[in-house]
A = this chain, B = another copy of it.
Amino acid sequence: MKLVGLAVLLVASLCYAQDSGDFRPATTNVPDAQYPRVDSAGRAEFRFKAPDATAVKLNLWSGPKLDMAKGADGFWTVTTPPLVPGLHYYTIVVDGAEVSDPSSHTFYGGGKDASGIEIPEAGSTYYLPEDVPHGQVREIWYHSDVTGTWRHALVYTPPGYDEQTRMRYPVLYLQHGAGEDETGWTRQGHVNFILDNLIAAGKAKPMIIVMANGNARRAGATPPAPGARFGSPEMMKAMHEMMMAFEDDETKVLIPYIDAHFRTISDREHRAMAGLSMGGMQTFQVTFDHLELFAYIGGFSGAAMAFGGQPFDTKTALNGELADPAAFAKKVHLLWIGVGTDEPAMMHTGIENLHNALTEAHVQHVFYESPGTSHEWQTWRRDLKEFAPLLFQ
């Protein structure tokens, strides 16, 4: 189950036993679209109009490509085996063109506005709108001298923020993954509903959450040439430059902007950072370069040099900050890493190795495994649900 191609397919006989075929339109559909639809076993039925096409495939990004079959009405259809709960990115491949499904809403992922389908998780409401006080998600625009551009960020303010005008709040900086942007944690992740529910239950402190665009480019820098190969020296250099530009933008521009425009508690004891995948890598880079700014650190399916299972030397890695575990534990109140049990081996082994190295070196940390989920948003929703209650306590 560690292969990406299989991870999304939970072909459990238990699920097949509930063979109700009670299909209903997915919650991610555009209004009144009848397809795609999902049954209580998690199977999804897709339907796509392409009367003149010769081959149409469904591409579930965390699963296999499935051939769709053409009906006499010009619609192509396919029904999947039961899928793991959560939001799955997907595209339709029609005669070689990879496109979004007009029946589903789009979500920015993989560097484009791609389709998403939500498979409900039976009994789970922690990421859904419940009858509790709701916070707001605010779009802000700030000018960055680092990038030389107006940058768009989203800011969750907890319920009561506008009413309790003397109250100040701690802040979590929360980052998306590669190919995604600042909208991911709200639209795909449901960050607001997760926090609304945790706060209402008394499980998490009311906090501000800032979601920035992690794809930063320094003013005047040229992008890598179109078509540059992933992993090529040019791309590695571009990635490094992006990481450094983001670090400068966050620490020199965004944090001062947020502290000036929101009622924050602006010391390091009340500032956290976390991120998923690439955002987890960014979190470890930014926080360990700036422990004067952060006291809580989270890596969701991504953390310092944790991909691929390279050896992790707690004596030298991360600016040597872990070399003295007792001193580190005094400074950083939470070092949290998480991964889905069904993530691709490179991710899972990498995070597990990091966990093992930290354990052996007696570095205080929390390790969480999301059961049955892959390198997808359900893992990161669960990560946030587990991580947020440990902040600012």
Residues of B within 8 A of A49 (CB): 96-98
Distance of A277 from chain B, by nearest CB (Å): 17
CB within 8 Å of B: which residues of A? Answer: 30-32, 34, 48-56, 74, 92, 94-100, 102-106, 108, 111-113, 129, 131, 134, 136-143, 150, 162, 165, 181, 186, 192, 215, 223, 226, 261-263
Q: Is the CB of B94 within 8 A of A102?
A: no
Q: In whole angstroms, what is the CA distance A343 to B223 when docked?
A: 40
In the complex, A150 Cα to B137 Cα: how many Å?
15
Tell whether, in the assembled complex, residue B96 and residue A100 are in contact, meaning their CB atoms are under 8 Å apart.
Answer: no
A94, closest chain B residue (CB): B97
B113 touches A106 (CB 8 A): yes
Q: Give the oligomeric copy count.
A: 2
**Bound-complex Cα distance A56 to B97 (A):** 10
Give, as a whole number of angstroms, the nearest-CB distance from A155 to chain B: 8
Whole-angstrom distance between the alpha carbons of A105 and B111 in the complex?
10
Q: Beyond A106-B100, A113-B30, is A95–B134 a contact (Cβ under 8 Å)?
A: no
Cβ contacts A to B, 17 pairs, < 8 Å: A30-B108, A32-B226, A34-B226, A48-B97, A51-B96, A51-B97, A53-B97, A94-B97, A99-B102, A100-B102, A103-B112, A105-B113, A134-B142, A136-B139, A139-B139, A139-B192, A162-B262
Chain B residues near A108 (CB, 8 Å)? 30
Given the complex, which residues of B lie within 8 Å of A52, measured CB to CB?
Answer: 54-55, 95-96
Contact residues in B for A74 (Cβ distance below 8 Å): 96
Residue in B97, B136, B226, B261 whose beta carbon sits within 8 Å of that of A99 in the complex: B97
CA A300 to CA B60, docked complex, whole Å: 42
Q: What's the Cα separation between A134 and B130 when bound, in Å?
A: 32
- Please, which residues of chain B bring their CB within 8 A of the CB of A96? 49-53, 74
Output the nearest chain B residue to A186 by Cβ-Cβ distance: B139
Smallest Cβ-Cβ distance to A50: which chain B residue: B97
Known: A49-B97, A137-B139. A30 touches B102 (CB 8 A): no
Contact yes or no, A143 B131, CB < 8 A:
yes
Contacts of A261 in B (CB 8 A): 162
Say whether A113 contacts B111, CB under 8 Å.
Answer: no
Please tell me if the beta carbons of A138 and B141 are within 8 angstroms of each other in the complex.
no
The answer to whether A129 touches B141 (Cβ under 8 A) is: yes
A140 smallest CB distance to B (angstroms): 6
The reply to whether B97 and A215 contact each other, CB–CB distance below 8 Å, is no
Inter-chain CA distance A262–B163, complex, in Å, is: 9
Chain B residue contacts of A131, Cβ below 8 A: 143
Chain B minimum-CB-distance residue to A224: B32
In the bound assembly, the distance between CA atoms of A226 and B100 in angstroms comes to: 21
Task: For residue A62, give the distance in angstroms from its CB to the closest CB of chain B.
Answer: 19
What chain B residues lie within 8 Å of A56 (beta carbons)? 97
Min C-beta distance of A203 to chain B, whole Å: 20
- Contacts A51-B95, A99-B100 aside, 7 further interface pairs with beta carbons under 8 A come to A53-B95, A94-B94, A94-B95, A100-B100, A106-B113, A129-B141, A138-B138
Complex CA distance for A50 and B99, rounded to whole angstroms: 10
Q: Give A54 Cβ to nearest chain B Cβ, in Å.
A: 7
Which residues of B lie under 8 Å from residue A139 when comparing CB positions? 136-139, 186, 192
Q: Are A134 and B140 in contact (CB under 8 A)?
A: yes
Q: Are A111 and B32 in contact (CB under 8 A)?
A: yes
Residue of A112, A129, A136 most packed against chain B (CB within 10 A): A112
